[in-house]
Structure 1
Amino acid sequence: MTAEQPGRVGCTGKTRYLRRSYAKRVASRIRRSGSDHLRPYPCQFCHCWHLGHLRGQATYLRNSIHGSVSVQEMTR
């Protein structure tokens, strides 16, 4: 079950889950399909739950003079 109410800027475009338990089930299904390991986290803006990567495991694209480059998140 996802929330349909509009969020604030901090979570615009993210899927909102009303319950942590449902977000955990979705994350587990994604993991079983061979995709990234995600975890639910509470959102301070919409007070629902979102899915995010484990700390230090997120990858994203960064623009450079050579085009988009995949970058591994670096944490200390």
Structure 2
Amino acid sequence: MESLNVSVVPLRTSMAIQFREKFAVMASFFTQTQVCSEGIYLTTLQKNVHKILLMQFNAQKRLSQDINL
């Protein structure tokens, strides 16, 4: 079973589109990039899938975590 790395990137809703545009450029080396309402799914050359979730957050509470399933 492949490992799914889930990166949680909290963002204000107003920042979501700007983040997606910048990240798409940064992630140009990924084999597949899928942007959807929940976030961004990236597939690397090693077939690892990274799901980046876009969430609303309190500016004083930034959450970043990696979960390996």
TM-score range, shorter chain: 0.3 to 0.5
Kindly indicate which of the two structures has a greater share of residues assigned to strand: 2
Larger radius of gyration: 1
Task: Give the structure-1-normalised TM-score.
Answer: 0.32
Normalising by structure 2, report the TM-score: 0.33
